[in-house]
Structure 1
Amino acid sequence: MYLTEQEIMGTQEALMRSYEQIESQEQEIKRFFEENKSRKFVFIGCGSSNMLAKSCERLFIARPGTSAVALAGGDYLVNPGYYRETVRDAIVVALSRSGLTSEIVRGLTIMKKEPGVKVVSITMKEGNDAAGLSDLAIVLPWAYDNSVCQTRTVATLYASALQLCAICYGDEGLKAAVKAAAGSNKAHQEKWRPSLEEIGKNDFSDVVVLADGPLCGIAEEGALAFTEVALVPGKYFNMLDYRHGPIVLNGKKTLTILLLQPGETSYQYAMVEDLKKHGGTVVTVGDAAGNPCSAALHVQIEGIDRFEAFGMPFIYVCQMIALSHALAIGGNPDAPTGLDAYITLK
């Protein structure tokens, strides 16, 4: 069994242990937000964690009296002066698997010199540099992925960000949804793995992932899983916005995965019908039973009553199809060409 596969299938343990760890720090986290009244957030990450930062931006910006922005670590590092007012008086939340990535560590070092900045970090490696620069550090070493491509790490970073938001704003419903998503992860994996493996055996040459709202970043990470694990180009777009140009490249060898938001059918289902006309493989994911759009596969998300928490079962769909496709074409998902687990700049 490849290491990537082991880590994907070990996601539930990482999610549950991380939920419990953050729960054990809940009073510390509440005290931090009570002492730091700013609700101006800057989320910073690199690669996968930058994509998750985009989800965090959408998650937090919907809260009252809150502003939020996601920054790529490298973007900030190249021109920190441009973002001085963006960072001033903000709570900076750093997301990182290793906590050692140069753009994150150097960026936080600069940010901490700006007036009013406080730093929160969520990382997966003990004794890391980002945690040492933080006013509040959440370290989850059991969720660390040893393979190059992140799988259980991104699911855990995403879930932890949801839990952080729930504690900050006293949202018990969101916290319960995170726990439900974590606790049902293994059953979800086992139920849908055979169907996802069959989709992974299909002959496709590119992948498009469509999603909206706070799922935007983890959906972009889902597209990246195909690029990194299967070496097949993966792209992300907002769902309805995909019609505004990029859809022209959708063809018979395109796999399109759509995450359907609950409660709305006309616009989203019409999008699925448009995509089916292009002749490629269409997979839908959502809480509806059956196969409402007659897609090649519909993956039902069950027992989770908050859309924000759909991200954990959804990312598995992308990861397992990508893994299965890599194996079907004779690839090695543990050794993508030219990638390192984290980047150290000279």
Structure 2
Amino acid sequence: MALNPYDLYDVRSLLSDEERAVQDTVARFTDERVIPIIGDAFDQGRFPKELVPEIAALGLLGSSLPEKYGCAGLNAVSYGLICQELERGDSGIRSFVSVQSSLCMYPIYAYGTEEQRERWLPGMARGEIIGCFGLTEPHGGSDPANMKTNAKRDGGDWVLNGSKMWITNGNLADIAIVWAQTDDGIQGFVVEKGMPGFAAQEIKHKMSLRASVTSSLFFDNVRVPEANRLPNVKGLKGPLGCLTQARYGITWGPIGAAIACLDEVLGYTKERILFERPVAATQSAQIKMAEMARRITMAQLLVVQLGRLKDAGNMQPTQVSLAKWNNCRMAIDIARECRDLLGGAGITTEHAAIRHALNLESVITYEGTETVHQLVVGRELTGISAF
């Protein structure tokens, strides 16, 4: 019996019936609705926002949050499979879902009041309210503690000043989860579109995540009511807790991108005839593709165990760092190798490899660069911070 070339260790057999059903549903959506349009959307630098109602109808927004807020109440492995199948289509689609779910809905659920949850989460689950996450600043990057955006108390309101950069969904967003320095430490605020002094400016000229909206946010004496402050967390542990949730999804997503590239190159090398035989019949091509399958298999086993740890409440941030580092590096290397095997054809977006390779330049950078995650693991091993 032939093995599945994209699942050599039958990782699917480790999944529950519900987890397999989730994967199959999202895989169909990706095959039927994302892949046919995503190359053109990437070329045009356009996020296909027409897909948002369908994404919401499938229950993919805030999928791990409780059903009482209109969410699906799925486990962590199911959320990971959602990310994997969406990124098999494009990192930009997975990024949209990650930001909405892990960086916007999660902090409202985890750090907000019941009134805030009821006010925003059901609409966000339906895709009627889009969120973005404002942490990164132009000068901050990997050092979020070096935050300049500030909020000052003024009666019953807060007055917000500063800016954020590299914000996914920024110009789409109806609300922004913004982290700011206060006299009582870093705190989170829900800033609503249309509040005077709040502006979003889309970042153009991108060569990566072109089918995604990336923006800068500006706050000029934006008056935010106390009812919009997330009261149940203070300090960097608030935004870092959100990032751990999102990074978990990112550990799964690049596997989908890698599988898409391998699938494409397997088909191409069998049909491409050079020197009177298919490229797939050469030792060099088989060794390269075998190496891809090996690395994909390792990544698959890594994330399933990570998901089981998360569902058991035992997942540690260092484990997420290790998986993001490993799986992003795996995927970007595979995408580049596949581009090479496609030859000249590989430089066009008629093939997926160059698009995935370019997207993964962002994925390997955002929410902790490769170096940051290496240093997180190093700190765990030695007990010494080298940041």
In the superposition, the TM-score normalised over structure 2's length comes to 0.26
Rg: which structure is higher?
A: 2
Q: TM-score if structure 1 supplies the norm length?
A: 0.28
